[in-house]
Structure 1
Amino acid sequence: MNRQDQHFSNVIVESLVFLDAVDPPRWKGSFRLSAEHPAVDILIFNIRGRFQAVPARCPHEGYELTHCELINENTLVCPAHGQHTDLSASKFKVRQHDGQFLLSIDDNTIAGEGSETILQLREEIDKLRLANLKQQRQIHVITESMDAMLSESEQQKAKLRDRANQQQGLSRFVDRIMDTIDDLLFVIGSDGQIRRLNTAVERELGFNEAELLGIGIDSLLSPDERQALAGRLPALPWHVQSALFETVRLSGYYAGEHQLLGKNRDASKAIYWLKSSLLHSEQGKLEGAVVTALNITEFKNREIRLRLSAKVFDNSSEAIFITDPQGTILEVNTAFCVMTGYARSEVLGQNPRMLKSKLHDQVFYRRLWQSLLTKGEWKGEIWDRRKNGEFCPMLLSINAVTDKSGQLTHYVAISTDISHQKQTEQELKQLAYYDVLTSIPNRFLFKDRFEHEISLAQRNNTRLALFFLDLDRFKNVNDTLGHWAGDSLLQIVAARIQSCLRKSDTVARMGGDEFTIILPGLSGITDVTELARKLVNAMTEPVQINEHTVFVGVSIGIAIFPDDGDDFDTLTKHADTAMYAAKAKGRGIFQYFEAGMNEAAHQRLSLENALRLAIEREEFQLYYQPKADNTLSRVTGAEALIRWIRPGFGMIPPDRFIAIAEETALIIPLGKWILKTAFLQAREWAEQRPGFRIAINLSPLQLLSEDFIAILDDILAETRADPEAIELEVTEGLVMHDIDKASERLQQIRARGIRIAMDDFGTGYSSLSYLQKLPIQTLKIDRSFIVAYSDDPDSKEAAFIKTIVSLGQVLNMKVVAEGVETEPQLRLLQSYGCHEIQGYYLSPPLLADEFRKRWLDCGIIG
């Protein structure tokens, strides 16, 4: 220890803390001069390797200097009033020993308490103590003030919470009240927007609360109702946001009937009775309105039903009267007064007994009342008496009316005047058993009489014969002259049949052109044969229908009881089978039933089934018969002819299956196949020989079917055939069957560029006026006229042929003769100027390959 250190005392710095978060870093600690002195806080700095110490608080007011920066590396500035503390002038000497700081204090300074250093130090300590006390008092005042403020704030918060809870409780209470109301309830603002609503709105209209809040109430009204409300408003100086609210604002209250639109606006709209009143605040400020809506749909429907019931009651054509449980008349309708002849005032308060006719006994009325009392209803026929004394048959229905508890309150009676029905009842029964057109028995009476005659024949051990008649060529008359001519023909035929019968015989019309005859009491069949021949001869006589003379025939099938059957169904079936056998043998004859005929019928059914399968399998071929000009210098076209190649049976000619196809409508799919096949062939040959044309026959079912034109267009598009290379043939009977519809179809066909020919011309009843109007380019002379010609130019047949050729020339139509087989026939047609020839004289029908080789590759084409 040097001499200087001998005058200093060393004090250890306690509670030492190193502060490295400030600039520059420093130590903070404290020391005591003696036990009775308070601790003094100091700051120790390392300034360029020297430790300097200063008090940690400003001596002026005791502000904390711990975190103050150094200025010029040795001066601390008080942040409160800017007092400077110079580290180099510090009285403290500091050194570090064994990790501790020792503070050296001059002993002389310590010995002389009155010295300036001690005084300064005490002064500084007192100032620091005063500053601390001042700060503590300020903090205490602030703390008390804050506590008071917090206490008051908590009290205010508690009051606000209480008030908010009260408001929420009141709001929930109001919501519960609103939701218990069955009516729809809306609270709207002065802009008409919905502010609150109850659950009834969602229940009835389907909207939830979120979807409607903020939406204008007017949007729930239909456009017409919104417009009507707006139209009733006067001119207002402000913009109208809600017509409904403005309506309420003007009068302070509104009530009216409206429809409200639900979420599903396609559903039926309900009807509501809307009531609304204005809503004001406690200060009287207008805040909006309250709108309630009561669903009155059921009431409106009930009102409508009541009005309708009253209308029905007043305007019913049936007499209606209402009585009380004792039978006193309370009300009647107009029809009752008209039907009975009594005025309303004459019957009110009376008993229905006043209408008694006395035609019914007491048992009748006893049963009536028993039914009313036990079943609550009675219905039946009753005879009443009108005011003028006339008897009137009534169909009466009485029903008891009870209330909800089941107590009888009224009787309602409805009566219908059935005088006319009674008067015409016998006529209706007569009409039910007799044919309206011919006035002879119909199918029902025929069966009744036939079964009666069988019973007599069994009892008397005699025979009876059943005739089944079917007219020949009746369809031609019906189709060409019209249904009126067919009806006239049936009446004439019925009269001719009756003229051939005995009084004991019965003739009946079964329907269409079919008749049946019963010949009872036979001992042999001589009378049967004689009547059959008499009927055939009678039917071959010409029939005059206005200016038309027509020829028909009859095919007759005969079955004998008990030889061919012993009941109605068997005998009629066998007679019908025999009739078809007569038609198959050439028509205009009669045929007795034979056992083998059933087999023929089965074969026909088998052929029909095979034909259906053949169409599915396309077991058909088209043959082509050429047509040439009358000089035979070139082939102009061909006619497509169908052939059925049936496996196991060979070729089936058309006359075996075409008629069946027509009867069963199989001609539709078959005809479609023919058209498609022929169109494809026409396209090929037209490309090879321009101007070459294929003719195809159409059936009536094809042409008149609803989808024929669509089918024709599809086939043209699919085959890409040239329409000019195709000619469709129709018969006179087909066209005249339905002249208007046929004409329309032919016009549609011609519009597509396809030529049209009338086949079998001369055998029908076509009118020249119709013929001129139809879009026909070709007339084909029926083969029957050509075949009938036998090399005699002066014959009637030659005249017919010449007339048809001349007619075609006059009408500017091409004339084709089919069925040409001989040289004389060809010469005759050439002399008349017939345009084209077709027939076996030229060639039989050929398959497509044979036709091409013979007539297109190396034929007579010039």
Structure 2
Amino acid sequence: MGRPTKGALPMTSYTVPPTAGNNQKATQQTLLEYQAILENASVGIIFTRDQRVQHCNQRASAIYGWPHGELVGQPGSVFYLSSQDYANIGRIAYPMLSSGQLLDHELPMRRKDGSVVYCHVRAKAINPENTAEGTIWIVEDVGERRRAEAELQDLLLKQHAILENASVGILFTQDGVIVHCNPRMEAIYGWPHGSLVGRKSDVFFCDTEDYENFGRTVAPTLMAGGLVDIEWRNVRKDGSTLWSRHLAKALTGQDGERSTIWISEDITERKKIEQDLATAHRDLEQRVHERTAELEKAHQQLDAMIQSSPLAIYARDRKSIVTSWNPAAERMFGWSADEIIGRRMPSVPPDRIHEFNDLLRRVLSGETLMQTELVRQRRDGKTIYLNMTLAPMRDSAGCITGYLTIAADVTEQKKAEQQVEFLAYHDALTGLPNRMLLQDRLNQAMAHAERTGTHVALMFLDLDNFKQINDTLGHACGDLLLKEVTARLKDCVRDTDTISRQGGDEFVVVLRDLPDSQAAVPVLDKIMVQMQKPVRIEGSELTTSVSIGVALFPDDGGTF
């Protein structure tokens, strides 16, 4: 900006001959209106002459990070990242502007502080026949738009990757015709890659009647906008049958066209297992019936002790169906005996299913598990910590028929232990890592940087005026300010970075995996911007700032 022309349109003053009368007033009013439009435009407007800025509006100053008024007189090269960039734009712009054409270009440019701003620049010579009269430049900051476009492209790539690599079949249909499907869908139904697109979806059904029956079953739900969840016997390309589970939902595009997404999985093996389980369940019921007398006698002997115990004592059969449930278990888990006996206990968190299955395997193999600490859920969803003993139960022939559980609630004890452990490594007020945990995180970050050739930035932050705020508004207000500062710092860094409070108004930030020493600058700028924003606490608007020191590893050493 600035090189292509030799002049600019002056904007600082206008005069009209005193004899103009009413025309003089009208002209002055028009000039004032033009001046107002220029200064309040949402785009940057710059006039150049002789490769220097003659005038610019406030928006242009803001885009390039200059105090308003300081750009006047500056050479056009201040807007470019290098002299080469400046020369390049000159070679592009001069022929266009001198021929009266509009220059329309998008490029990275330079702010006063050296940071990069992406701009959409449009320029035109004021007089193409005499470019020395100057050039007008219209500038828009398109950084946010570019970031949004990049995020959209990234999202599309991720969605494509999910579709192509999903472990379930995914298919889209429109008017009963397949318009897209992923490789897994082709594999499930035995079709060559790409051969399903364009075919009618009746290829998955044994005959037309079966296809129409399926359509009548799912159509009401799809038409109502609901989610279809159905199991159906389908056919592969070679005619063999399989059981499928289909999830489907109707979609409406922006153009109003309707389509349907289908997510399918092969559940043939699961169906076989269900059938086997049903047979096993019937066999187990027969065995339970035959041994009722013996179990009843054992139950009578133990019932008095179980009912009066302060510990939760309950029994389950080999399928984990609850067969007995004492009052302590009711209090501990929240289900009454009438509600839970005859059912599986829905108390195992989803992330503990594998652990539960392993324990079940061990106890049903004859092992007694003594005082095992486990996590469970109450009926109200509350997590509780239990100290459990699980023992197999045998019939008179020595066969394991189920297992007995004795549980003590150690939730409060566990919470106390967790709190002690947390406070050993975290700040009590903000919950941030303390110096001990910070040292560990920093050591890990530096070790990783040595292995990967990356950098680590260590930022020391000190809140300005914090003592004055604390003294005037009280420690409670100061504590709220520290919590707000913590929240703002978290918004400025990645999840892999570490924020630590060192005490008082001092914070330390560790930025890891930096490609170079300059990668910390955007984070530093973001923190400075966040800290300059006012904070409203208990009706008071507080303004503070922060002093920041930065050290880089390995550039500045490796000792904290």
* TM-score, length of structure 2 as denominator length: 0.41
Structure with bigger gyration radius: 1
Higher RCO by CA contacts (8 Å cutoff, separation 6 or greater): 2
